[in-house]
Each structure stands twice: as C-alpha cells, then as structure tokens.
Structure 1
C-alpha cells in the first residue's frame, strides 16, 4: 500500500525515500483556468485531484472592515490591501499582475512613528476557515504562509527608501522588520492553533536574490533577517511543521545561513548560476529539502513536452535520493505555459 500525500511529503522533508516523488502545483488564475477547461472541472481542488497533487495551500481569509476601492486618474480600479498599501491590477498580455501605487510608510522616519502606525489586526482574519480546509484535505500535506521577514515590507515602503534606511538607519529598519514579524508570528500562530497539529509546512516568501546574485551581503542578511527567520522557523517546529523558505534568485551564498536558522526546505530553485541541482544536492542535500526547480522562465512556456519531462526527470534523479525533493515549477505557472507542458512536468513522476 502506498503512502498518503501527507506521509509522502513529510518523508521528503525527513530525508526518507518516499514511494514516489511528492509534488505541488501553483499557478496564476489563468493557468488554473486552462487546467480546469482541460479536465472539464470547475474548481482548483478538482484540478489537484485530477493531477494527484500532494500539497494543498490554505490561509485565513480577511474578514475585517471593508477595504475601499477607488478610481485612478486613468480609470483603473485601485484596491486597498489589508496592510494599508494600494495597488492596481495590470494585464501584461498573459495574466494580471499587482502593481503597488501607494506605500503607507513611505514618509515614516522614526521608530515612534512606526509604533504609532495602525498595523494589521490579527483579529481581522478567519481562522475557522483553516480548520474547515484541514478537514476537507485530511490526506494531503497542508501548507500555510506567504509574507516573510523582508519581501512584504516592500509594499509598505518602496525598495529604494528601504535599502537606504538599512544602510543609514539600521535601528529603524530593524524595527520595521521586527514589527512585520510580530504580526506574522501572531497570524501564523493562530493558524497553527486552529489546525490543531494538521499543518505540515510553513512557507514564507522573501526574494533575497536576483538572477545574478544576492540583494544583500551575508553580513547584512545576518544583521537584518537571521533573527526573525529563526523565530518563524521555531514557530513552525513548535507545531510539528517544517519551515520552507521561498527566495527567488541566486541565493546560494546564504543557504548555510538559512540552515543555521533552522530552515528545513528551500523553494523555488530558480535556474540561475549556483542553483544547479547537482551542486545543491552534493553540498546541502542532507540538510535541506528542495522544492520546485522546473524552469518557468524559458523551458515551460517555450519548450516541448518531451524537454519538460526530461528536465523534471533530471531533477528527480538528482534531488530525490534518500528523499529531499518535492517536484514542481520554479515559480507559479504563468498564463503563457501550455497545458501540455504542465502535464509533461508531472508525467516525470513515473521514474
């Protein structure tokens, strides 16, 4: 008898050989729409069932006061996020992308002003929805998370000001990151409590790398992000979950730092220098579970199904030795990825 999805994913994180490589699916609405049409179904859940996907993402929806929507001068709907920033949705020819139009902490300069700002209220989220979703997906591995230590802050203040503050006002910048993580610890903590031991993965998103290298030196990464990464990893571990760090880009220089903070897995393994699967497995394969890796920038939108399957087989053969790998794309499937290439990626699970 084979493993359940939950057992399969947990085996991968524990570096035990699963009955087959576990997999996850993530994509923009347009990609899911194509898959629903292909399978003749009408929900994301049904797509996951049809494709035998092992991981299910869940969250606590916002249920606080109504958030305003207003019109920009050129006629776009400008939405307000529960964190106070505003954004418009821009169609890029394949799917919609959110563009931040207002940064609520852009003019903030002192720690006292940060403390006085109205931070998101953890009471404004529906944690009972987490328990309901857990009950609907008992056999799947369950994952929560999104905002991390750094990336979400760039919706509150633009990146240029943030980087200048990190260099010239480090105490202020650290307080900003700490305030963000204080909310996250409460928010994720309540989700864990609502799930009552059923969540398997906490995944937070912080893009510390570019396609050519790091955004920060190792010393600066340790200075601003190590403490809070460890706090979030400790939270996951207290609730019997694994901590999965998402970071795009060439982040090999900080992989050792992440391991020191208690990180259990790394996503998305973008196709950039230093993130080749052979080297990652050789140097870190006994300490990290690798998550993703099949290239969404060139291969999936432009390659043949045979080439996609061959690359997925390479990743499985390299990274799935003694567990330690969860198959999936290196980013969300975008609207320009053909359905046949999505299916070809998961066809590699036969090996």
Structure 2
C-alpha cells in the first residue's frame, strides 16, 4: 500500500474493497464457505477501513418502531432512519435539525470523548447501512484485532457528509442558496469538530493506524452538487487541515467522494491528497485517463465498473479489470470497485476478479491486448 501510494511499483497491485453485508452472505453461500469467513482474510486483501463513533451526540438509538420487517430509529445525528431488512440501504425519514436557527443552537458532544473509541455503543455510520447493528464493538478493539494482518485505516467524515446526515441533502443545498454566509459559519464549526475528532482518533490508536480515509460526497453523476467556489471557500480548508494533520502523523490519506468531481480534482492534487476513491465509472471518472493527464501527482483508488461486475459476463469483467490495471503502471493505483461490492455481484464473479488481479497485477504488468501507453 505505502509503495503504491508513493508511486513506486510494489510486488503486486494492492486490492481490497468495501463489501455489502448482503454480498458477503451471498458469496459464502455460493462458494460454500463457513459462516465466519470474510473476503478480507479469505483473499488476504491489502487494506481495511475502520469506523469510530462520529455521531455528533454520543447516545443509544431511540427505537421508534421495530418488527420482523423493519426498524425505525433516531440516531446521534438526531436523524430518524428506517431500515427495511429486505432492502439494501436505509431511508432517511426526518431531521430534528430542520432550520438554520436549530443548526446554530445545536451542540456537539466532545470530539475527544473516550467513548467514541474505547467503548461499544450505537452509532449511525457503523450501525445503520446495508445492515443494522446495535451496540457496535469498541473501535480500538477492532483496530487491535485487525492490525496484525492488515494495513488498518481509520476514517473520518468531513463537513459535507455531516450536513447530509445532520440536515438532509435538500436542506443543505437550499440553505447554501438562502443563507450562504450563515451556513458557512456552521460549516466552519462542523469542520473544527471533525478535525478534532480525527486528532482524537489518531491519538486513541496510539500508532496502530496505517492511514486515514476521509468520507465526503460533494458530487453526483453529472457534476458537483453545488458551486465549486462555495466548496473552495468553506469545505476545502477543512479537508486541507485533515490531510496536513494526517501527514504530520505519517499517515497517507484516501478521500472517498462519490460522483463526478472533475471540477475540483486538481484542488485535491493541490492539497497533497494521496489517493482519490471511488472514481465512479457511471459518473464519467476514468483512472486510466486521469493517470495519463495527472501522472503521479495523485494516486487512484477504485474505478472498476461495478455494473460490469454485476453482469457476471466473464469476458467483459476481464476486459474491465485488465484495462484499468494500466493505471497501476509506475505505482499509484489501488484496485477496487468504483464504489462497493453489492449483493448483485455473484460470489463466483468476485472470486474471478480477485484471481485476475493476482495474476495480471504482478509487476512488471502484462496486460496483453488491453495494454495502454501511460
């Protein structure tokens, strides 16, 4: 991982991913694997991300409804969420912070509170996703368990991700237009809170982290969700501060942001970001084209078309995998999907993908008819 991120060619291209729980269940069943098997250990994948408690309020979920089909809870973001057990992702129903005045009065719990890192408990990001989990294990115990076998990355959300969860996307975008300066003040307050959360996380890990992921969606399929200049004014400084703090602690940084971010991609290069993820293909992101344009100014993580993986077509999967490995020439590429591995990917398809990368991702690369000059 470190060699690839420093634009050197390691022995092979690093590979890992983010897996839906429903995919893992399907993968075990289709490959006839024991119930406790996970893809990270089975394939000896090359890095793994951990999630501490980043909720603004450290509290147990308030259960509003629960039956055999769904659960509705209010979380530490003071957000009400519905998780239908048969559906892959949860639904955001409502937000307690639904006016700019409520946001201005909202009080965040201490970012340095030890419960975020050293105690089990409910938290929205770890607990309400493609699955549903109460009382998530203490983050530090997860780190200690994984560290002997994997490069372990911590993670932190930045301002835009907090706003989506705390206010909702609609309120966030409306308030940018209605109260740009007022909201900007609150963005700066949120930025400081999560910078402090990240500092506390690094301290709590006490040398056990190998890197950091910053989560922050600011774009969709076509382009950015809002004006790039507004991002540069209020969001970019906090991303910069996070990257600098990580680098001061010898931690490389991977930024995970969905959508088409080409309008601000050079900003991330300017900030010294180590790698960008997931580089969604359906949002017109292409790691090979980016590598040709920007070379080793940044590394590229992801960009393998999950829709091709979901098709199960081995010929198309082989073409996609080998072509995107061109971005690994000279280092600077981590192989992953262009978001996460969904339940629509078969166990056999993912098994085939890993074997392709292990075979063709050894240096020097031999990509056959898919070889490109970089």
Structures share a fold, TM > 0.5?
yes
1:58-105 CA distance string (max 9 Å, x none):
233589443210129xx95211222211100135x6x43111112122
Do the aligned residues in 2 keep the contact of 1:305 with 1:340 (CA within 8 Å)? no
**2:311 counterpart of 1:325:** no
Measured on the aligned residues, the alpha-carbon RMSD in Å equals 2.4
What is the aligned counterpart of 2:45 among 46, 49, 53?
53
Unaligned runs of 5+ in 1: 1-8
Greater mean deviation of Cα atoms: 12-21 or 273-282? 273-282
Indicate the residue corresponding to 2:345 in structure 1. Answer: 337
What is the aligned counterpart of 1:43 among 10, 32, 36?
36
Do the aligned residues in 1 keep the contact of 2:3 with 2:331 (CA within 8 Å)? yes
For the structure 1 residues 312 and 120, does the alpha-carbon distance in structure 2 shift closer, same or farther, using more than 3 Å as the test?
A: farther
Q: Distance in 2 between matches of 1:188 and 1:208?
A: 20
**2:126 counterpart of 1:116:** no
Greater mean deviation of Cα atoms: 46-55 or 59-68? 59-68
Indicate the residue corresponding to 2:77 in structure 1. Answer: 83
Unaligned runs of 5+ in 2: 120-137, 361-374
**How many pairs does the alignment contain?**
334
Indicate the residue corresponding to 1:187 in structure 2. Answer: 197
- Secondary structure of the corresponding residue to residue 96 of structure 1: coil
Greater mean deviation of Cα atoms: 76-85 or 227-236? 76-85
**2:308 counterpart of 1:299:** yes
Indicate the residue corresponding to 2:367 in structure 1. Answer: none
Do the aligned residues in 1 keep the contact of 2:54 with 2:156 (CA within 8 Å)? no
Q: Displacement of 1:193 after TM fit? A: 1.2
- Using the size of structure 1 for normalisation, the TM-score is 0.87
- Secondary structure of the corresponding residue to residue 276 of structure 2: strand
Q: Distance in 1 between matches of 2:328 and 2:19?
A: 23
What is the aligned counterpart of 1:101 among 72, 93, 103?
93
Q: Distance in 1 between matches of 2:54 and 2:215?
A: 19
- Using the size of structure 2 for normalisation, the TM-score is 0.82
Q: Distance in 2 between matches of 1:327 and 1:292?
A: 5
